[in-house]
Amino acid sequence: MEHATNGLTRDVKTRRLAVGDSVEELTALLHRSYADHAAADRVFFASYQSVRDTAERVGKGECWLAFRGAELVGSVTVAAAYAVPETYPAPAGAGAFWQLAVDPLYRAKGLGQQLLTLAEQRLAALGSAEVVIDTSAQAVDLIGWYRRHGYVPVGTWRWDVTNYASVVLLKDLVHGRYVQ
């Protein structure tokens, strides 16, 4: 299954991670994509994870890559249902995505929206009625972006691999959003 994106990134194509794709290149993309968060003292795991960590994380779901020609410019990994710690504030069976990354040179061109849409479509196809994500409570712009796309805060969480508290956000994939 291959998707073509729209807008200013119409020459970007997405496909699933395949044997032979470089996990090193993906890790470098994640580091670039999350570097501005780290510079703002929000140390997202993707800003420093090792190649081994990347391989482990993509192995827990479907990893989708976005390419412009041969250049890797984005990624997202999805899983339905997402295994979370017992007290994590999300419904059992919700799908999730992580490592949503856009190369800084491709920001504000619609690629993040395309990857978000792809993640939601894949999760729905895999049987998830809801999707849960979390991000730094300090990443106000990012939280606003997710809220504009139908996500609502449902709680907080603190991962041991970050230096911040996370806001947990949920979206109903059947109806498009939750009403608070």
User: Which pTM value belongs to this model?
Assistant: 0.87
CA angle 173, 178, 180 (to 5 degrees): 175
Q: Any idea where the domains of the chain sit in the sequence? A: 3-128
Q: In this predicted model, what pLDDT tens digit does every residue of 6-36 receive, in sequence order?
A: 444 578 999 999 999 999 999 999 999 988 8
DSSP annotation of 147 reads: H
Q: In this predicted model, what pLDDT tens digit does every residue of 90-99 receive, in sequence order?
A: 888 899 999 9
Position 3 scores a pLDDT of: 45
CA 2 vs. chain centroid, Å, equals: 18
Q: What is the CATH number of domain 3-128?
A: 3.40.630.30
The mean pLDDT of 80-98, rounded to a whole number, is 84
Closest CA to 44 of 30, 28, 26, 57: 30
The mean pLDDT of 148-163, rounded to a whole number, is 84
